[in-house]
Amino acid sequence: SGLAELDARITGCRACPRLVAWREEVARTKRAAFAEWTYWGRPVPGFGPADASLLIVGLAPAAHGGNRTGRMFTGDRSGDVLYAALHDVGLASRGTAVSADDGLELYGVRITSPVHCAPPANRPTPGERDACRPWMISELELLRPTLRAVVVLGAFGWQAVLPALAGAGWDVPRPRPAFKHGARIMLDGRPRPLDVFGCFHVSQRNTFTGRLTPAMVRDVLRTAAEAAGL
């Protein structure tokens, strides 16, 4: 499909020198616990079916998670929380994600991020975010025929995805709506409006402190799945 081609092109991207250097250095030096792994060390493309009606948008791959396994949120603590919740609400075939060939399937859901390469300290620069935006616009355009809802995890993703949605032709109000957990905005567009949901990011910073509980993640996913007709 067009989306598979896009994913293949993304994995070859070297547009951000700082991120190329970091993702490759992490892949070389590894973490002791993963010494046996051959790290992916490249941009991590979106994961999930090309006819998804729900898109989940994170921030960027984790150095020893997606950057190691080559699949979104796979092999890290954020992913543990996200995939458990997806499985609990019936959107994933299993509640754990360990490697790109673990057999995990998503039902009607695709997961992507506005920055496809692992950044130092999980913090991409605004320039890196902007450099990666054309990939997200292309992904949104390819998903357009079936896309009905988007869940955005965290303020960084929110600020990155609204301009991308505008770039892909949805009608994003100005000033742009602010991020908050529980935010829900409806964007006009073709072939149908898009329901966009805000949710705190599933990072350890939020989940270990109880700012974001598994029940809160399930609630957002359930509401969004319903909006997406899943």
Contact 170, 75 (CB under 8 A): no
Residue with tokens 């960084």: 156
Q: Is 43 in the site for ligand SF4 (CB under 6 A)?
A: yes
The residue from 76, 80, 128, 139 that contacts ligand SF4 (CB under 6 A) is 128
CB-wise, 55 or 187, nearer to ligand SF4? 55
Least distance between ligand SF4 and beta carbon 59 (Å): 11
CA–CA separation, 168 vs 160, rounded Å? 13
The separation between CA 30 and the C-alpha centre of its own chain, rounded to angstroms, equals 23
Contact 79, 73 (CB under 8 A): yes
The separation between CA 129 and the C-alpha centre of its own chain, rounded to angstroms, equals 13
CB-wise, 80 or 128, nearer to ligand SF4? 128
| Interface region with ligand SF4, contact rule CB under 6 A, candidates 6-14, 48-56, 77-85, 187-195 | 6-14
| Interface region with ligand SF4, contact rule CB under 6 A, candidates 14-22, 28-36, 70-78, 156-164 | 14-22
DSSP at 45: P
CA–CA separation, 218 vs 213, rounded Å? 9
CA–CA separation, 10 vs 4, rounded Å? 10
Q: Is 116 in the site for ligand SF4 (CB under 6 A)?
A: yes
89: its two tokens: 């609400």
> What does DSSP say about strands 149-153 and 54-57: parallel, antiparallel, or unpaired?
parallel
Q: Is 118 in the site for ligand SF4 (CB under 6 A)?
A: no
| Interface region with ligand SF4, contact rule CB under 6 A, candidates 76-84, 130-138, 139-147, 208-216 | 130-138
Q: Is 140 in the site for ligand SF4 (CB under 6 A)?
A: no
Q: Name residues contacting ligand SF4, limited to 23-42 (CB under 6 A).
A: none
Residues near ligand SF4, by CB under 6 A: 10, 13-16, 19-20, 43, 115-117, 128, 131-132, 135
